[in-house]
Amino acid sequence: MNSSDGSQQLTLLYSRTQIQQRVTELAKAIADDYPGPGLVVVGVLNGAVVFLADLLRAFRQDVRLGFVSVSSYGTSAESSGAPAIQIQSDLPLVGEDVLIVEDILDTGLSMTLLCQAIQARSPASLRICVLIDKRQRRLHAVKTDYVGFELSSGFVVGYGMDYAERYRSLPDIFSIDVTDPECGNDGDPKLG
């Protein structure tokens, strides 16, 4: 149900306090696993930027930082082909311990392709940290190493995550009612 100004209905899902607590726990778990410096942290643009910034600030040790992007692929994972992966050209990957930081795992297609692209550069190790795991929607198996929250259904925005490039700057995470005719068959747009 949309309001008269075109905004969708938002329902608070995770407050900024809950998020910060979970991010602190994740950072500690990661730091315990990588006690030395040199971890290469790879953020997936654009949605993971806010999560990644908070995660980095919760670390104690030095890390190296880079970004990759995964192109959007329409409203259905099946309908519009594979997303393209772009890796920052000077990102050190060969022989490095690499940690991918992503906002959401949904069908797992983006992450599967991203992992393949990074594995092709022969890192020493590769792990995955996601803020939100929609495990029940998985179509492509992905082994996660650090998961913030598991979500069984719905579309979420805020804390860097968008719906049609809206709502990224909200400090909390909301579920959004996108079951309207403008946003595809199942109200599940892949928009960034």
List contacts with ligand IMP (CB under 6 A).
47, 77, 102-111, 155-157, 161, 190, 192
Tally Cβ neighbours within 10 Å of residue 190. Answer: 20
Full DSSP string of 87-138: E-TT---TT-EEEEEEEEESSSHHHHHHHHHHHTT--SEEEEEEEEE-GGG-
- 103/86 Cα distance (integer angstroms): 17
Using the contact rule CB under 5 A, the part of the chain among 3-11, 42-50, 89-97, 138-146 near Mg ion is 42-50
Please list, residue by residue across 97-115, b when 16 or more beta carbons sit within 10 angstroms of its beta carbon and e when fewer do: bbbbbbbbbbbbbbbbbbb
Q: How far is the CB of 58 from ligand IMP (least distance, A)?
A: 21
106 is a catalytic site residue: yes
- Residue 109, contacted partner among Mg ion, ligand IMP, none, CB below 5-8 A by kind: ligand IMP
Q: How far is the CB of 162 from ligand IMP (least distance, A)?
A: 6
Contact residue for Mg ion among 43, 47, 148, 187 (CB under 5 A): 47
Judged by beta carbon, residue 38 or residue 81, the one nearer Mg ion is: 81
- Residue 178, contacted partner among Mg ion, ligand IMP, none, CB below 5-8 A by kind: none
Handedness of CA 182, 183, 184, 186 (dihedral sign): negative
Q: How far is the CB of 63 from ligand IMP (least distance, A)?
A: 21
Residues marked as catalytic: 106
Per CB under 5 A, residues contacting Mg ion are 47
